Amino acid sequence: MTVASALSRRDLVRAAAQRSLTRRRITGRLAQALCAVAAVASVAPLVALLYYTISRGAQVLSWSFLVNAPTPPGIPGGGISTAITGSAEIVGLALVIAIPIALLAALFLFERSGRLAAALRFSADVLAGVPSIIIGIFAYALLVLPLHAFSNLAAAFALAVLMLPIMIRADEEAMRTIALDLWEAGIALGARRGRVARSVVLRGALPDLVTGNLLAIARAVGETAPLLFTLATPVAAMTLLIYTDGTQAFPIAQETAWGTALVLLAFVLLLSVAAKIAAWRISRRAR
Amino acid sequence: MSGDPIARPEPLSLVAEQRAAANTAASALTHGHPSSATPPAVTLEGVQVSFGDHVAVRNVTLAIPARQVTALIGPSGCGKTTLLRAINRLHDHTGGSVEGSIKLGDIDVYGADTRPELIRRRIGMVFQRPNPFPAMSVFENVVSGLRFNGVRGRALLRDAAESALHHAALWDTVKDRLNQPAVGLSGGQQQRLCIARALAVEPEVLLMDEPCSALDPIATAKIENLITRLAADVTIVLVTHNMFQAARVSDQAAVFLLGEDRVGELVEAGATDELFHEPKNPRTRDYVAGRVG
């Protein structure tokens, strides 16, 4: 390469950079604008949905709506207390089933890299894609039919199955943020694997574990299909109540559905905020 | 650090002296005049970089001579890298604010009508860890900057890539695998690829932020050789906390230390051999003698 060609190339690059600058700046601005539009567009449905639900639901909302038991159709003064407690009970029970299993399964996936782990990870992904109505009918066949009874337990089981794959993958991802060399550092101190898992991996991953699990819960709280097959009456859970009352022609039923929808939304929102605060507080203490 | 020679065969001042002697001979050949006469490529005046309330480095006034190697040395955390990144406006994106004046030739780097894109094309950067773009081949990595700058034409890109790889002493190694993924190269090769990538856009100044800190001694030696040779065409500003490296490759050196209030500051600057031989500032003397830092 000669000095002359190097010099001309320098001039050429300079000229090209200068010449294309306006075009590059315009392209950049356009791309930025597009991103902003997309960001707004993705938030707009949420805002609209919140606004509509609040404006419809707030009219119905009152203290008695929350604490009174449902009344038969046509009799005023009914509330949704059974649906609220039912939902809480079912979700709580589902958590007791799903959280420990998911944690242990995730630890297994974190630690092992063999074919079994790959197969498990794959089946978790497949399970995550199974439509929730199929999980509902599965719980129906497994628990409702043999026992001849609809039950909160059957509903909780269905929700647990639904949450498991989401939780497992979220837990594993959370653990992956704790690098494998920390795990090895613990082992190299002579600790038992279980001890390292508890003290180093779980502790370090705790903020992400909390966030991941709470998001899975928020997802499960809103599920309706698994409950269709496992609960005897629509007033046993909030989502089911919204489904049955919302599809009725009577204004009173529809109002109840909107009120319940608002309560459910508030519950999910509360969970998400709680997740954020918990993760923030834990990670602040960890530093 | 990994770039350190295991044995320290010669005192710092001697290393710097040999380097200076070799350089005088070289510059007499190429430029025909002593190196001190070249006008500065970059001029810093009263530069201070801060993040929110925290001042990282302050009051830096320094002339960086063209087509020489200027080393910024000092212990960790004294603002060398922060200052280096200010020179091509990388703090625009990190929330750091830069006060004072930085000039590239006559151009105010932070001037109101100065385009950061054009400044960064002229002031390139090589980072601590080799960072070739993933999912790009060796060739695509080298010409990426050219493409970003709107340079088109297959033959032109090809020539530019070959030339840049030659300059980075990597051509013979990669000429048969230009289309293979860049991340398949060794660490030292990746760093030379990053140097080629930076050189391809024909910068006048090349900022190097501890370019050898992630490399083994052999790869370090190659990069150091390269730095010395590149200085014939390009002004090099090298951040290093390895004083032996500074002595081996730099013509000028600037020593940064933490002030009493934990703010980094420029303590002394000058020809590298003088700085290591007879430092004027007692703090420089202590640092060079290995008593602090």
In chain B, the domains with their CATH numbers are 12-129+203-288 (3.40.50.300)
- CA torsion sign for B8, B9, B14, B19 is negative
Which pLDDT value is given to residue A183? Answer: 80
Q: What is the pLDDT of residues B132-166, one digit of tens each?
A: 999 899 999 999 999 999 998 999 999 999 999 99
Q: How confident is the model at residue B65 (pLDDT cuts 50, 70, 90)?
A: very high
The H-assigned helical ranges of A177-237 are: 180-188, 193-196, 203-221, 225-228
**Which residue type does A98 have?**
A
Q: Are residues A188 and A53 in the same domain?
A: no
Q: Report the chain A residue with the minimal C-alpha distance to residue B115.
A: A21
Q: What is the pLDDT of residues A73-120, one digit of tens each?
A: 667 777 889 999 999 999 999 999 999 999 999 988 887 878 999 999
Q: Are residues A26 and A67 in the same domain?
A: no
Residues 6+ apart with CB under 8 A from A55: none
The pLDDT of residue B27 is above 50: no
Q: How confident is the model at residue B33 (pLDDT cuts 50, 70, 90)?
A: very low
Q: What is the arithmetic mean of pLDDT over A36-63?
A: 93
Q: Are residues A51 and A141 in the same domain?
A: no
- Asked whether residue A1 is domain-assigned, the answer is no
- Report the alpha-carbon distance of residue A133 to residue A89 in Å, rounded: 20
- Report the alpha-carbon distance of residue A8 to residue A163 in Å, rounded: 64
Q: Are residues A111 and A240 in the same domain?
A: yes
Q: What is the pLDDT of residues A212-257, one digit of tens each?
A: 888 888 888 888 889 988 888 888 899 999 998 888 888 888 888 9
Domain containing A14 equals 10-57
What is the CATH number for A230?
1.10.3720.10
Q: Are residues A191 and A79 in the same domain?
A: yes
Say if CB A66 and CB A80 are below 8 A apart: yes
Task: Calculate how close chain A gets to B167, using CA atoms only, in Å.
Answer: 10
Cβ separation A12–B146 shorter than 8 A: no
| Phi, psi (rounded to 5 degrees) for B101 | -125, 135
Among A40, A57, A74, residue at a domain's last position = A57
Q: Global pTM? A: 0.76
pLDDT: which is higher, A240 or A181: A240
Mean confidence (pLDDT) of chain A: 87
Q: How many domains does chain A have?
A: 2
Residues 6+ apart with CB under 8 A from B266: B57, B59, B60, B61, B62, B254, B255, B256
Say if CB B174 and CB A23 are below 8 A apart: no
Q: Are residues A118 and A139 in the same domain?
A: yes
Which pLDDT value is given to residue B6? Answer: 47
Q: Are residues A251 and A112 in the same domain?
A: yes
Which pLDDT value is given to residue A252? Answer: 85
Cβ contacts of B121 on chain A, cutoff 8 Å: 13-14, 17
Take residue B24 and report the two structure tokens written for it: 């005088």
Q: Are residues A32 and A100 in the same domain?
A: no
The pLDDT of residue B13 is above 90: no
The pLDDT of residue B4 is above 60: no
**Which residue type does B291 have?**
R
Q: Are residues A84 and A43 in the same domain?
A: no
Q: Does B169 touch chain A (CB under 8 A)?
A: no
- Asked whether residue A3 is domain-assigned, the answer is no
Q: Are residues A137 and A278 in the same domain?
A: yes
Return the residue matching tokens 């500003």. Answer: B237
Q: Are residues A215 and A269 in the same domain?
A: yes
Take residue A255 and report the two structure tokens written for it: 């109002």
Determine which of A139-153, B3-17, B61-75 has the lowest per-residue pLDDT on average.
Answer: B3-17
Cβ separation B150–A9 shorter than 8 A: no
- Asked whether residue A5 is domain-assigned, the answer is no
Q: Does B292 touch chain A (CB under 8 A)?
A: no
3-state secondary structure B162-221: HHHHHHCCCHHHHCCCCCCEHHHCCHHHHHHHHHHHHHHCCCCEEEEECCCCCCCHHHHH
Task: Calculate how close chain B gets to A111, using CA atoms only, in Å.
Answer: 27
Q: What is the arithmetic mean of pLDDT over A169-196?
A: 83
- Asked whether residue A171 is domain-assigned, the answer is yes
Cβ separation B149–A10 shorter than 8 A: no
Which pLDDT value is given to residue B9? Answer: 52
Take residue B41 and report the two structure tokens written for it: 């490529």
Q: Does A29 touch chain B (CB under 8 A)?
A: no
Cβ contacts of A6 on chain B, cutoff 8 Å: 163, 233
Which pLDDT value is given to residue A236? Answer: 85
Q: By percentage, how much of chain B surpasses pLDDT 70?
A: 89
Q: Are residues A181 and A86 in the same domain?
A: yes
Say if CB A143 and CB A154 are below 8 A apart: yes
